[in-house]
Amino acid sequence: MIGGEDRVFAAHALHSLNNVFFLGSIPKHAVPTYMSALQVCLNPQKLNEITDGNYPRKVDEYLALGKPVVATKTATMELFREHVYLCSGAAEYLAAIDLALQDLSEESNRQRINFAQSHSWKNNVDRFFDCLNKTMTKN
């Protein structure tokens, strides 16, 4: 696990597992180096009113590196359904991770990267201004 932890998470049972490592925060410039060693990226979330509609920018970052992603199924994650393995529980996560480990081809990586590029900040801003311009020209 990469990133800071709050007190609640620091006391989580995951810390007792021998195959889970908590690396803490790392410099932003080092993130791609760490992520290049990952075979599959995970985006687990506890489902609630906030996470159901939360946009997971981290998933775009994972996909931009061509990595297979396994994530919790939420309303917002449905936007990613063709490029991410969506799960509703632990058993589905285990099965999806197995599938993701078999989905490491160059073609799959390229498709993930292309999809992520469609979500760039520039593309998002361009779409926003297109919608704004269309709205303003209607009035």
The pLDDT of residue 139:
63
The pLDDT of residue 1:
87
Per DSSP, the chain holds a count of helices (H) and strands (E) of 7, 3
H helices within the chain, ranges in order? 7-10, 31-36, 49-53, 57-64, 90-101, 106-117, 121-138
The pLDDT of residue 32:
85
∠ CA(74), CA(79), CA(50), 5° rounding? 35
| Distance separating alpha carbons of residues 83 and 112, to the nearest angstrom | 6
- The token duo for 9 is 């998470």
The pLDDT of residue 81:
95
Sign of the C-alpha dihedral computed for residues 123, 128, 131 and 136 taken in this order:
negative
| Distance separating alpha carbons of residues 105 and 20, to the nearest angstrom | 26
The pLDDT of residue 31:
86
pLDDT tens digits, the chain, 139 residues: what are they?
Answer: 888 898 988 899 999 999 989 999 999 899 889 988 999 999 999 888 888 888 888 899 999 999 999 999 999 999 999 999 999 999 999 999 999 999 999 999 999 999 999 887 788 788 888 888 888 887 6
